[in-house]
Structure 1
Amino acid sequence: NVKESGLYLIEHCEHHDTGAVNEGPVSRKLGVPGIPEDTELRVVERDIDMARKTGVHVHFQHVSTAISFDAIRKAKAEGLPITCETAPHYIALSDEALLEYGTLAKMNPPLRSEADRQATIAAIADGTVDMLATDHAPHTMEEKERGFLDAPNGIIGLECAYGVCHKVLVDGGFISDERLIELMATAPAELMGHDKTDVTAVLDEYADAVPGDDRTKRVLNLGKVPGVEHVDLVVLDTAGAWTVDPEKFHSSARNTPFGGWHVTGRPLATIIGSELAFSRIDKED
């Protein structure tokens, strides 16, 4: 069982058989069956009680409602082994986005009310939310054109997640750049048991061996240095302004409501196992 294994339970907090969007004025305006917010809360409360009785660490995925955050906040104050995450779309969009973007804004859990969106940001700012995850769900545009009842849930999330979160949370004055990196990188890595790469320490240790005339180029060249066995990291431009253009995505999917958004901050390069896997440095994109 989970407790004896020393692992933790990761929970998708939805329990419903019907509905396609958040229950409320927007669902009624669209004439689409709604999903009540307490479908999420019931799973959260059930598993908080389980954590209380067993001591098992429970991690709640993509939490989206104020009432769920309240329950999680109280459980943490009680000292229970609870962590949670939310996703970029729940801080950037409310269910009103369905009226503009249609099924490109259909997901599970659904986009919630504006009050829930504000509560989600507040939960990030006060530390209730431990991390941010994309809930990346690529679909073809043909699939997304089937209408609210038949179109699959989810949006593509990887390529604009950092920029969207930076726009809402950092540019909005809710958290710092450093805290956003913790939420999107180091906290998820720690949850999954991965070590954090101390780039400064590695560069200092191999100062004479790493080529490059600036810090960024030296980081990208780490994999060329004998002895640097395993470095995983993402190089970020925290100040670069850009416009989300789905046609320039590296993914084959284009299903995002964020096309045309002006955001700040984006990944410049990705290094996996000390090997350069992706780079847009010195490129127009």
Structure 2
Amino acid sequence: MKTLIKNGKIVTKDNQTTTCDLWLEDSIIAGIGKDFSSMTFDQEYDAKNQLITPGLVDVHVHLREPGFTYKETIKDGSKAAARGGYTTVCAMPNLNPVPDTVEKFNDVMAIIEKDAVVKVHQYAPITEELRSEVLTDQKGLKTAGAFAFTNDGVGVQTAGTMYLAMKEAAENNMALVAHTEDESLLFGGVMHKGKISEKLDLPGILSATESSQIARDLILAEETGVHYHVCHVSTKESVRVIRDAKKAGVHVTAEVSPHHLILIDENIPEDHGYWKMNPPLRGSEDREALIEGLLDGTIDCIATDHAPHGFEEKNQSFLKSPFGIVGSETAFQLIYTHFVETGRFTLEQVIDWMAVKPAEIFGMTVGTLTIGQPADIAVFDLNHEEKIDDKKFASLGVNTPFTGWPVKGATLMTFVDGQLVYNKED
């Protein structure tokens, strides 16, 4: 099958745009140029002078299946990813049952194989049932196809357990991906500890809850030589210790989520579950540190932490609502509108953080527009402004405070291995 995507614009290394066509054949990018008029194609798509990028890569999503299919399914979650321009997503293992054995892991992979419309890499847990001190069979899970190891949703509480897990991951040449949260410092907190938590009379979460465990883990990562990746960094202290560790030669990478780059706790208008996320929205100094961390390379990439929940369970107070915000369908639009349109980031930087770098740091052969590479491609409309409309979401989850926000950068088309998996016109 030969496919032509014509009249699009791509971003060059000097942040300039140039008009070009893409020739796709047999699931790969076969050509990038300006004139394929002498060739015959099986199908053609007009990009209408809009932006063509490599398919976005999200190393942190929750697809909720098996166990929580009222929140999300692999099919719906992958459709949501495609609607947001993502062609590769990496799914967390806080499922029911937890895929902590090869047999249970294979059951999840079978659903992915059957239902996913984008590429889904599945994480395996670090410990059995996520909260135990018993390590999983890393070697067996790696052979079964595990992307990396994480207990996302809870931090590994015991340093000895984390040390042993890192040591084994290093031996298996696998990344250890950490949700960092010292539960002894939680004190029942549900939002960032500060003036807003006091105003709403809600228990606060210390910044040290996150940063202290990162500091612990960085020492262990240096000791073991593991590739240690920090999930959803949210505090200025976390940025500082990661920056110092990188300067010391520790193999650490890190991600930040769009909501932590855009929102702070002072934006929270009321005690409502749509504003409850883990880690919580922090202060203005934290947000600025995250932005600076991206710009100076301390933070490597942007990941959504797409975490859908049922409407009723999120439509209540902080004390009763679960943590989480959806993000697959809004991430690119929010980042483009709030940072590229305002001149804080360049378009080239955003593509780097949302496609190139996440693939690069985990060794995935996606994330670039390169001849011979997989034909995973997104086309975005950078000109038309629309409002985020949760009624149009492909995800089962609508739990986001961004509904109604004006944005540009809607996804027009998404291709996975050269096949059209999302078309806004449909």
Conserved 8 A contact 2:256-2:303? yes
Shift of 1:196: 2.8
> Match of 2:195?
25
Distance 2:393 2:321 in 1: 22
Match of 2:419 among 275, 281, 284: 275
More strand by share: 2
Tell me the secondary structure at the aligned position of residue 278 of structure 1: strand
More helix by share: 1
The higher-RCO structure (CA 8 Å, 6+ apart) is 2
Question: Aligned-residue CA RMSD in angstroms?
Answer: 1.9
Gaps of 5+ in 1: 203-227
Assess, with a 3 A threshold, how the Cα gap between structure 1 residues 238 and 129 changes in structure 2: closer, same or farther: farther
> Match of 1:146?
316
Distance 1:197 1:257 in 2: 29
> Are 2:174 and 1:7 equivalent residues in the alignment?
yes
Superposition map of 1:42-53 within 5 A: 42-53=212-223
Superposition map of 1:80-99 within 5 A: 80-99=250-269
Conserved 8 A contact 1:121-1:169? no
Shift of 1:238: 3.5
> Match of 1:157?
327
Conserved 8 A contact 1:107-1:153? yes
Distance 1:15 1:235 in 2: 41
Shift of 1:123: 1.2
> Match of 1:266?
410
Comparing 68-77 and 246-255, the one that deviates more: 246-255
Superposition map of 1:98-177 within 5 A: 98-100=268-270, 102-177=272-347
> Are 2:423 and 1:253 equivalent residues in the alignment?
no
Distance 1:114 1:100 in 2: 18
Assess, with a 3 A threshold, how the Cα gap between structure 1 residues 177 and 57 changes in structure 2: closer, same or farther: same
Tell me the secondary structure at the aligned position of residue 255 of structure 1: coil
Assess, with a 3 A threshold, how the Cα gap between structure 1 residues 158 and 49 changes in structure 2: closer, same or farther: same
What amino acid does structure 2 have at the position aligned with 1:31?
D
> Are 2:355 and 1:185 equivalent residues in the alignment?
yes
What amino acid does structure 2 have at the position aligned with 1:145?
N
Number of equivalent positions: 256
Comparing 190-199 and 121-130, the one that deviates more: 190-199
Conserved 8 A contact 2:254-2:300? yes
> Match of 2:211?
41
Gaps of 5+ in 2: 1-167
> Match of 2:67?
none
- Give me the TM-score of the superposition, normalised by structure 2: 0.57
